[in-house]
Amino acid sequence: MSILSGKHILLGVTGSIACYKAADLASKLTQAGAMVDVILTAAAEQFITPLTFQSVTGRKAFTDADLWGGQAHVLHVGLGHQADLLVIAPCTANTLAKLAHGQADNLLAITALAAQCPLVLAPAMDAGMYDNPATQANVQNLQARGATFLGPAAGRMASGMQGLGRMLEPAELLGGIRQALGQAGPLKGRHLVITAGGSQEPIDPVRFISNRSSGKQGYALAQAALEAGARVTLFAHPTALVPPYGAAVHTVRTVQEMLDAVMEVLPDADGLIMAAALADFRVETVAEHKLKKQDGIPKIRLTTAPDVLATVAKARGSLPRLKLVVGFAAESRNLLENAKAKLASKKLDLIVANDISATDAGFAVDENRVTLLFADGHQENLPLMGKDEVAQAVLSHIQALLER
Ligand code: CTP
C-alpha cells in the first residue's frame, strides 16, 4: 500500500505556465491511490481548464465560480478540513504573498486559511521574482509557520532567462509529497544509512567487474524509510533510478569507496541497512591505461575486497548510536543455511535472505520473495511481493527493533 492510498490531497493550482505539469502531478497522485481535489485560481484558468484536472482525477475541480455557488459557505471549510495535505503547485509569487499575509480573496486562499493540514508549496516564477526580498520574506515567514517548500529549481525559464524559479518536475514533487505525508512517522528523528545496487571494481580506465544488482530494493527501502519519517543517507552505484526525494544520495563505485563512505557517516546513524550486492573480489592491480587487444589476452589477478559488514561488526563497540545492522543474503542454493551463517558471522540483527535462482524475483525485477531471519532465532517467510512492499515489511521490523 502506497502512503498516498486513500489520502485526501488538496491540490491548489495558480497562474503559471507550469500549470501543464500540475495536470501530470494530479494524475500521478491519483494513480498512487490519492483522492485529489483541485482548486484553480482565476489566473490558473487562463493556462489550463478544470476539465483537464477532472479528467485525470475523476473528481470535480473547483474554481472561483464555486465560491459564489449555493454551497459556497461550507465549501472551503469542507475542502480544508478533509484534506490530509494541501499542496500548491505551481505556487506563484502572488499566492505566496497572500498565504504569508493571511489574505483570503479567492477560493484557494480562503481554503488555505481554513485548512488544518500541513502545507506544501512548489514555487514557480520568473527569474528575479523568487530572489526579490519581498518574496524571500514571504518564504521565510511561511517556513517559520511550518510550510514545506519543494524547490524551486534553477534553470531556463519560460521567458528564456536563467535563474531560480522553475517548478520541480512532477516525479520530484510526488516524492516530496510522500515524504511530507510521512514526516511525523514512527522513524522521525532516526537516521538510517542504506546501501543499494552493485559495486564496480575497475580493471582498467574503461572496464569494470560488476553484477546484476539494479539497486531497486535499496531504493525502495530508502523511500519506505523516508515515508516512515526517517532521515536517510543512501549510497549506491551510478544508476538511472529516480533518487528518492529527501534522501542524501551519494554515488560510490568500489567496495573500498563504500566502506569509507559508510564508516564516515556511521557514528551519526541509528541503523545500517546493507542491501548492496558488493563484490567479494577486486582486481589486484588496476591497469593505468586501457588494455589493448594486440597485447594478447590479459591475465587478471583478483584479490579480496574489504567486507563492509565484517568491518562494521568489529567497530560496533565504538558506535554507541548504532542500534541496528541489517544485511541481505543473495543465494542461489542453501538459502537459509547460508543466510544464518552470515547473520552470525557479521553480527547482524536481521538478515533478509532472497533466492536469486528464481526467475520471477530477485535481481533486476520489480518483485522479491524473501525470508527474514532475526538474531533471536525467529524467522518470517514473506510471499512474492513488490520490492516496495518488501521494503515496508522490513522497515516495520526495523522500527520495532529500534524501539526495543
Ligand atoms: N557485504 C559487505 N561487503 C562485501 C560483500 C558483502 O558488507 N564485500 C554485505 C552485503 O551488503 C550483504 C551481506 O554482506 O548485506 C551478504 O552479502 P553476500 O554477497 O550475500 O555474502 P558474502 O558475505 O559476500 O558471502 P558469499 O559471497 O560467500 O555468499
pLDDT in tens, 163-190: 899 999 999 999 999 999 999 999 999 9
Distance from the Cα of residue 393 to its chain's centroid:
17
What's the average model confidence in pLDDT over 49-64?
Answer: 97
Q: Please indicate whether residue 307, judged by its CB atom, sits closer than 6 Å to ligand 1.
A: yes
Residue 142: per-residue pLDDT: 98
What torsion, rounded to 10 degrees, do the Cα atoms 33, 34, 37, 40 define?
-90
Atom 16 (ligand 1) nearest CA = 329
C-beta of residue 265 within 8 angstroms of C-beta of residue 232: no
Residue 357: per-residue pLDDT: 79
In which band, very low, low, confident or very high, does the pLDDT at 364 lie, cut at 50, 70 and 90? low
Which tens digit of pLDDT belongs to each residue from 240-270?
A: 999 999 999 999 999 999 999 999 999 999 9
Atom 6 (ligand 1) nearest CA = 278
C-beta of residue 174 within 8 angstroms of C-beta of residue 33: no
Residue 68: per-residue pLDDT: 79
For residue 11, give the 3-state DSSP assignment.
strand
Q: How far is CA 347 from CA 197, 244, 256, 341, 370, in A?
A: 22, 29, 20, 10, 20
Q: Residue 129: name the closest of 89, 166, 87, 175 by CA.
A: 166
Alpha-carbon distance of 90 to 22, in angstroms, equals 7
In which band, very low, low, confident or very high, does the pLDDT at 157 lie, cut at 50, 70 and 90? confident
Atom 26 (ligand 1) nearest CA = 280
Does residue 97 register a pLDDT over 70?
yes
Parallel/antiparallel/unpaired status of strands 208-209 and 201-202: antiparallel
Mean pLDDT of the chain: 95
User: For 160, what's the count of Cα atoms within 13 Å in the CB-facing half-sphere?
Assistant: 0
**pTM of the predicted model, to two decimals?**
0.92
Residue 156: per-residue pLDDT: 87
Q: Would residue 141 show up in a list of annotated catalytic residues for this protein? A: no
Q: Which one from 106, 138, 141, 211 is the annotated catalytic residue?
A: 211
Does residue 361 register a pLDDT over 70?
no
How does DSSP classify residue 346?
T
Measured in angstroms, how far is the CA atom of residue 259 from the centroid of ligand 1?
12
Q: Residue 270: name the closest of 321, 218, 316 by CA.
A: 321
Q: Please indicate whether residue 276, judged by its CB atom, sits closer than 6 Å to ligand 1.
A: yes
Does residue 72 register a pLDDT over 70?
no
Q: Residue 346: name the closest of 325, 372, 320 by CA.
A: 325
How does DSSP classify residue 317?
G
Residue 269: per-residue pLDDT: 98
Does residue 159 register a pLDDT over 70?
yes
Q: Please indicate whether residue 328, judged by its CB atom, sits closer than 6 Å to ligand 1.
A: yes
C-beta of residue 181 within 8 angstroms of C-beta of residue 202: no
Alpha-carbon distance of 209 to 201, in angstroms, equals 5
Which ligand 1 atom lies nearest to the CA of residue 306? Answer: 8
Q: To 5 degrees, how large is the angle CA 234–CA 340–CA 337?
A: 125
Size (the chain), residues: 404
Which tens digit of pLDDT belongs to each residue from 175-234?
A: 999 999 999 999 999 999 999 999 999 999 999 999 999 999 999 999 999 999 999 999
Q: Please indicate whether residue 105, judged by its CB atom, sits closer than 6 Å to ligand 1.
A: no
Atom 23 (ligand 1) nearest CA = 342
Which tens digit of pLDDT belongs to each residue from 267-326?
A: 999 999 999 999 999 999 999 999 999 999 999 999 999 999 999 999 999 999 999 999
Alpha-carbon distance of 78 to 26, in angstroms, equals 20
Which tens digit of pLDDT belongs to each residue from 7-41?
A: 999 999 999 999 999 999 999 999 999 999 999 99
Residue 401: per-residue pLDDT: 96
Structural domains in the chain plus CATH codes? 8-181 (3.40.50.1950), 186-403 (3.40.50.10300)
What's the average model confidence in pLDDT over 62-70?
Answer: 86
Atom 3 (ligand 1) nearest CA = 307
Measured in angstroms, how far is the CA atom of residue 329 from the centroid of ligand 1?
7
Residue 71: per-residue pLDDT: 66
C-beta of residue 206 within 8 angstroms of C-beta of residue 200: no
Q: Please indicate whether residue 327, judged by its CB atom, sits closer than 6 Å to ligand 1.
A: yes
